[in-house]
Structure 1
């Protein structure tokens, strides 16, 4: 399924990133694990990088091989971190890494962004999202101030903007067969689940009460792996809701269905 492909997995030290790295390796990929922390069990080669820092990303890109067949953008911070840090890692750093890798992507490469059910309200945030299009690392503090991005809103906004960026680039690299998609989980039982429950308040409580259980990384990693595979070559600019039915539930509730 992924035999001989070189796949980069960010956030590979824990949670969905660790599970994805292990799974794609088991499917034959050559994995390059990336994280700010060294994984307890390294899958493939490991490169330490801080995705909130441009220079660290530049060093990472320079250390990567000349041919990359897939990028799983899974690294992310929960809303317990300062808003500026959340935006730098979850949005600005993610986009910067992806764009810096364009020259190394093989024709037919796949980019998979880990978004979230938290991003479902992107339609109500289009003005701020449009303003973030050219957002750079140094601009984040002022952007957060102008657009009232603070506390839990930082996480919601980062995922809203990521979903829109994914859709906007559905055909950007079509001439090379490079595709970009997103996966949006709901609550996932990872080491940072408690951070979400503490900071997202009523929304998180409602989701947890409605669902039969939170997801596990093993529920999400196969979706990412599929989108990295050639079997997903006709899926472009899509946001796959791997959330146990929560997105459909919210839509039905919203529209009285």
Structure 2
């Protein structure tokens, strides 16, 4: 059978490989014959080529982890994240500033044909209405400057989760246009509700009715594997002309919203 995805013997990094979508992604990549290097705050039980503990709230920890892996990297999977039940600044550090720092450290290890994919969320679907403020954040070049910006813009950051996911989408679109000139692609996914350890946190923060509403029209959560397949595809040789995309992996939710077929009553009531 042809190696359609092209991962055999490729060297990849998965951030957030301990559980959930990141664990499912690392597992799938191993099945595809990739050399998988994992980083996370908790140690992975998978049989990886290497694993390094990292704290995305600490740029020095990020730099040391990527330096330890070293060598050529063919693909990066940014799967680490915190839910909105964590402190807002920690959420911004992990979901945006830390994810960006990991990527910046890995990019010099990539050459033409490399690819980066990050996990955003349908929780970031309001990105287009906040481009000016998100672009202001993206102009903060260093990790420390981004964190300081977040500290000074609490009204924009709010609980951190939605804004961090909006920032990932705009950052992906912005950087994809520059990186493709070097032959490196960059995309992200927008998952709907997924059965991961974070699901209980989403229900606690938003309410079960809101989570249920976000499962329309398929009316079930996705599995981590279903999210992993989209991530693995986007970074594969099979997706060589896909760049700068925020791909909904949500069972049709955003399509239903756009065409008026999804009832947002529960979500709007919670927002008010």
Give the TM-score normalised by structure 1: 0.92
- CA deviations on 1:89-131 (whole Å, 9 max, x unpaired) are 1001111111122210122101001111111100121222012
Q: Indicate the residue corresponding to 1:114 in structure 2.
A: 119
Q: Which runs of 5+ in 1 are unaligned?
A: none
1:223 corresponds to 2:223: no
Alignment of 1:1-257 (within 5 A): 1-135=6-140, 136-139=142-145, 140=147, 143-149=150-156, 152=159, 154-201=160-207, 203-208=210-215, 211-253=218-260
Distance 1:240 1:128 in 2: 22
Following the alignment from structure 2 to structure 1, what is the Cα–Cα distance between the partners of residues 44 and 174? 33
| CA displacement 1:165-216 (0-9 Å, x = unmatched) | 1111222122321000011110000011010111124643421465421011
- Structure 2's unaligned 5+ residue stretches are 1-5, 264-272
Give the RMSD, CA atoms, in angstroms.
2.0
- 8 Å Cα contact 2:127-2:167 kept in structure 1: yes
- What CA distance in whole angstroms lies between the structure 2 residues aligned with 1:145 and 1:82? 15
Distance between the aligned counterparts of 1:42 and 1:87, measured in 2? 30
The whole-number CA distance in structure 2 between the counterparts of 1:116 and 1:10 is 16
Comparing 43-52 with 70-79, which one deviates more in the overlay? 43-52
Residue pair 1:79, 1:151 contacting (<8 A) in 2 also: no
Query: Contact 1:68–1:109 (CA<8 Å) still a contact in 2?
Result: yes
Aligned length: 255
CA distance in 1, matches of 2:154, 2:129: 13
